[in-house]
Amino acid sequence: MGNGKVVFVTGAARGIGKEICLEMAKEGYDISLNYRTKTDDIEDLKKQIESYGVRCAIVQGDVASYEECEKMVNQTVEELGKIDILVNNAGITKDGLLLRMSKEDFTNVVDVNLVGTFNVTRNVIPLMVKQRSGRIISIASVVGIAGNAGQTNYSASKAGIIGFTKSLAKEVASRNILVNAIAPGFVATDMTKVLSDDVKENINTMIPLKRIGTPNDIAKAVKFLASEDSSYITGQVLHVDGGMLM
Ligand code: NAP
């Protein structure tokens, strides 16, 4: 049975985004899922979501394009009526030391992760202001706080999301819109498949809880920040990293 609320998740075809959709569907939210690259699995994911008795819209588009974000938001409202919760999840990495990093690799990552967060949020916020309620949850990263060699582009984009979150939280608090970020540590997805064996071996010493995170660890935090249980929390960065950064 649906709970009457609609959540829009970007980058939702795989990894953390997909798990957020499934966890939120289980909770009764209608889901608008954005994907960028066509996959055969997307219709299966829609069926899986609908099996929880909720509605599901599929919106294709690139978050780095402002026009496509405008279309995706409009399509969501046409199909599902409104947006109560936005989850800015789409993200990419293009790692390399700054000494060898091309301008393109820097700007591509910032364009998707940070400008993409602006593009979607900018198109959703007027709806939330009008309905005088809403939640915006953006997926940042532990490296946006602590930094990481080889990720100047990625950590700059994630630190940017944190500043964006805090400023927007102050702008829209009076309209009952809560804006928070989640900073995951290492999570087992395609993004971290490429981690060196060195890093993987060190996980036990780097993470007090001695395991890599699962997409569900992050989805559960999203569920909390979307719920009534977090109605006095805004402008915060929730660390979900097994204690990696304290
Ligand atoms: P992932 O498995 O690589 O999935 C990323 C998703 O984002 C994919 O569905 C991808 O779609 C989508 N995406 C990328 N660029 C996009 C664009 N321009 N427009 C729309 N969608 C786009 O990564 P993940 O691990 O699930 O990461 C999800 C979020 O968590 C990211 O913001 C990431 O930075 C953050 N995060 C991850 C970790 C980790 O350890 N995994 C840690 C901290 C933070 P395509 O299939 O089209 O590429």
The amino acid sitting at 162 is I
C-alpha to C-alpha distance for 35 and 202, rounded to whole angstroms? 33
Identify whether 245 is part of a domain: no
**C-beta of 68 in contact with ligand 1 (< 6 A):** no
Distance 62 CA to ligand 1 centre (A): 12
> Do residues 21 and 44 make contact, with C-beta atoms less than 8 angstroms apart?
no
Give Cβ neighbours of residue 93 (< 8 Å, ≥ 6 apart): 109, 151, 154, 191
- Burial class of residue 229 (count of CB atoms within 10 Å of its CB; 0-12, 13-18, 19+): exposed
What pLDDT is recorded for position 180?
99
Atom of ligand 1 nearest to the CA of 143: 43
The residue whose CA has the least distance to atom 12 of ligand 1 is: 11
What pLDDT is recorded for position 100?
97
Identify whether 1 is part of a domain: no
Atom of ligand 1 nearest to the CA of 154: 34
pLDDT in tens, the chain (246 residues): 789 999 999 999 999 999 999 999 999 999 999 999 988 889 999 999 999 999 999 999 999 999 999 999 999 999 999 999 999 999 999 999 999 999 999 999 999 999 999 999 999 999 999 999 999 999 999 999 999 999 999 999 999 999 999 999 999 999 999 999 999 999 999 988 877 777 777 877 899 999 999 999 999 999 999 999 999 999 999 999 999 999
Bridge partner residues of 11 (DSSP): none
Identify whether 230 is part of a domain: yes
**C-beta of 193 in contact with ligand 1 (< 6 A):** no
Identify whether 246 is part of a domain: no
Give the tokens for residue 48: 């899986």
What pLDDT is recorded for position 61?
98
C-alpha to C-alpha distance for 73 and 84, rounded to whole angstroms? 12
Q: Which long-range contacts (CB under 8 A, 24 or more apart) does 111-114 make?
A: 111/64, 112/63, 112/64, 112/157, 113/154, 113/157, 113/158, 113/160, 113/161, 114/156, 114/157, 114/160, 114/161, 114/164
Instruction: Write out the residue range of the structural domain in which residue 229 sits.
Output: 6-240
Identify whether 80 is part of a domain: yes
What pLDDT is recorded for position 191?
87
Task: Read off the CATH number of the domain in which 34 is found.
Answer: 3.40.50.720
**C-beta of 187 in contact with ligand 1 (< 6 A):** yes
The residue whose CA has the least distance to atom 16 of ligand 1 is: 90
Identify whether 48 is part of a domain: yes
Mutate which of 16, 40, 60 for ligand 1? The one with the most ligand atoms within 8 Å of its CB, which is 16
**C-beta of 72 in contact with ligand 1 (< 6 A):** no
The residue whose CA has the least distance to atom 9 of ligand 1 is: 11
Distance 219 CA to ligand 1 centre (A): 14
Give the chain's domain count.
1
The residue whose CA has the least distance to atom 6 of ligand 1 is: 11
Identify whether 84 is part of a domain: yes
Selection from 80, 171, 156 nearest residue 121 by Cα: 171
Identify whether 126 is part of a domain: yes
**C-beta of 139 in contact with ligand 1 (< 6 A):** yes
Distance 91 CA to ligand 1 centre (A): 4
